[in-house]
Amino acid sequence: MEQEIATQVVALGGSNDFTLISLFLRADFIVKSVIIILIAASITSWAIIYDKTRLFKRINKTTQEFEEKFWKSKSAESVYNNLSNKNKDPLINIFDKAMSELIKTKSKSSTVQNIRVTRVLEISTDKEIKIIEKYFTFLATVGSTAPFIGLFGTVWGIMNSFQSIAVSRNTSLAIVAPGIAEALFATALGLLAAIPAVIAYNKFTNDLREYSSTIENFSKRFLSII
């Protein structure tokens, strides 16, 4: 075992290549696993960020257009009858379900009708909000855990450097530099994955709060006119 470590120490000590690929290839299994996990988490986070950015941009536009059309129309039923089956806007979906329930309960008393439509609005709103906030938890998890995962890789890399010193009985920087570089690389990846995830989570949470407020205001005004 000591002979293997010594061989590795000699190899590391003679290597002056500190490119990111070289650091990854020289790392042991644990550090490589940490790096792969962090890279995968970062790529997934950016995919979610891209998807949610497009989502909020689209629904903010379609919701605004629908509200303008709705409040300019003569009646809610005329808007309902002209709805397209291809709509993917959350507010339109909520309105569609509420109007369906309203039409079904026309023969009921106004109190019963109001209660049932209100329930449909609440259930539909909750369903649409859950769809929008899908994967928010992943961003929050990456933001809170990625630095610690990177720190684990850092600690492990530094431990390997100390083992190299113990085996070689040489405190030269050339001996420990590769292991320390690998360790710091893991730390950097942890921060690289965490920072965008935290920023995106906070932004999307705020965007969702504002959009939820829009839905709530529309629902109240819609209930007031029926």
Q: Which DSSP symbol is given to 73?
A: S
pLDDT the model gives residue 131: 95
Sequence spans of domains, the chain: 2-72+135-225
Q: Residues 132-144: what's their mean pLDDT?
A: 96
Least trusted range by pLDDT, from 29-33, 34-38, 41-45: 29-33
Q: Residues 32-48: what's their mean pLDDT?
A: 93
Q: How high does pLDDT run on average in the chain? A: 84
Q: Are 31 and 181 in contact (CB under 8 A)?
A: no
Tokens standing for residue 82: 């002209």
Least trusted range by pLDDT, from 14-23, 122-131, 171-180, 193-202: 14-23
User: How many of the other CB atoms lie within 10 Å of CB of 11?
Assistant: 11
pLDDT the model gives residue 4: 43
> Three-class SS string for 112-174?
HHHHHHHHHHHHHHHHHHHHHCCCHHHHHHHHHHHHHHHHHHHHHHHHHHHHHHHHHCCCCHH
Tokens standing for residue 147: 């630095």
Q: Are 94 and 215 in contact (CB under 8 A)?
A: yes
State yes or no: pLDDT of 5 exceeds 80. no
Residue holding tokens 């959009």? 211
pLDDT the model gives residue 178: 66
Alpha helix (H) residue ranges in the chain: 2-13, 20-26, 29-72, 76-81, 90-104, 110-132, 136-168, 173-225
pLDDT the model gives residue 183: 75
d(CA 79, CA 89): 15
**pLDDT tens figures, 74-119:** 888 888 888 877 677 999 999 999 999 998 888 777 788 889 999 9
Q: Residues 213-220: what's their mean pLDDT?
A: 94
**pLDDT tens figures, 156-214:** 888 877 777 767 666 666 666 666 777 788 888 999 999 999 999 999 999 999 999 99
Question: What confidence category does residue 13 fall into, taking pLDDT thresholds of 50, 70 and 90?
Answer: very low
State yes or no: pLDDT of 139 exceeds 70. yes
d(CA 94, CA 125): 6
State yes or no: pLDDT of 147 exceeds 90. yes
